[in-house]
Amino acid sequence: MPLPTLVLILAAVAIVSLVSFVGVFALFLHKRLEKILTYLISFAAGALLGVAFLDLLPESLEIFPNNKALLIALFGIIMFFTIEAFLHWHHHHTHKHEEPHHIHSVGYLNLFADGLHNFIDGMVIAAGFLISPHLGVVTTIAAILHEVPQEFGDFSILIYSGFKKTKALFFNFLSALTAVAGALFVYFWGSMFDSLNNYLIPFAAGGFIYIAAVDLLPELRQHESKEIMQSILQLILIVLGIFIIWAAGNYIKI
């Protein structure tokens, strides 16, 4: 007797959500993690740019006519700027008389953007299973292969932002659980909000572009090494992050 569709959907998004624990490998690095953090940030910046420009935006341009997708992405960039400005203001006025363990706002921004992205993944997986079990399985595999490099980058961003390792794993997992919410949303109410996913895709792309271009890449320039080989290695890792996202998107077709 075949399993009910809802059970298959929940099992698939649960597996995808567990990919967020890929960052656990960094726990074994201990003190060495701080020494290679700039390299992890380089990879994360490349992965975010790759997801935005090679995955989310091309999909959006196929959905929306003219420049509507780009306008939504620009709106996403502006919204993420506004959110970060508010987080900076809130931190300044809340902690101006104390010296707490500072957490950069980019960590919270990335959790928000990644939560949106995972929500979209859950919606896509659920839609695949509602069409056929085979398409659902293929969609799940594609999501996993896309998530592995990005989740490792997300974990690196949280560590850079000031999160402790265990806390970074926990919050990254909470962000991944939005895939479950997206799947349930489509299963129970998807037919009522068919166009929501279309708008979330370019909005999330704008968020990823903002995080990579405004927070991560300038940070690399600020800590630019006098050794040319270190700068070359950072560049290689940025390109590697982009390449892995491109390869996953081109060789794992749904």
Question: Does the residue 28 lie in any domain?
Answer: no
pLDDT for res 1 = 39
Q: Which of 248, 251, 240, 254 is nearest to 46 (CA)?
A: 240
- Domain of 61? 5-19+44-251
Question: What is the total count of domains within the chain?
Answer: 1
Question: Does the residue 181 lie in any domain?
Answer: yes
Question: Does the residue 184 lie in any domain?
Answer: yes
- Token pair belonging to 179: 């895939």
User: How large a percentage of the chain has pLDDT more than 90?
Assistant: 12
Question: Does the residue 172 lie in any domain?
Answer: yes
Quote the pTM value.
0.66
Question: Does the residue 236 lie in any domain?
Answer: yes
- For 200, residues 6+ apart whose C-beta sits below 8 A from its C-beta are 116, 119, 120
Question: Does the residue 91 lie in any domain?
Answer: yes
- Reported for 32-39, long-range contacts at CB under 8 A and 24+ positions apart, including other chains, are 33/159, 33/165, 37/156, 37/159, 37/160, 38/220, 38/223, 38/234, 39/233, 39/234, 39/237
Q: How far is CA 52 from the centre of its chain?
A: 10
pLDDT (tens digit per residue) in 125-170? 887 788 778 767 867 876 776 676 667 777 778 887 888 878 888 8
Question: Does the residue 165 lie in any domain?
Answer: yes
CA dist 208 and 87 (Å) reads 17
C-alpha angle 119-83-213 in degrees, rounded to nearest 5: 80
Question: Does the residue 163 lie in any domain?
Answer: yes
- For 16, residues 6+ apart whose C-beta sits below 8 A from its C-beta are 118, 121, 122, 125, 140, 143, 144, 147, 176, 179
- 3-class secondary-structure state, position 217: helix
CA dist 73 and 89 (Å) reads 24
Contact 47, 245 (CB under 8 A): yes
pLDDT (tens digit per residue) in 79-133? 888 877 776 665 554 444 444 445 677 888 888 888 887 888 888 788 778 877 8
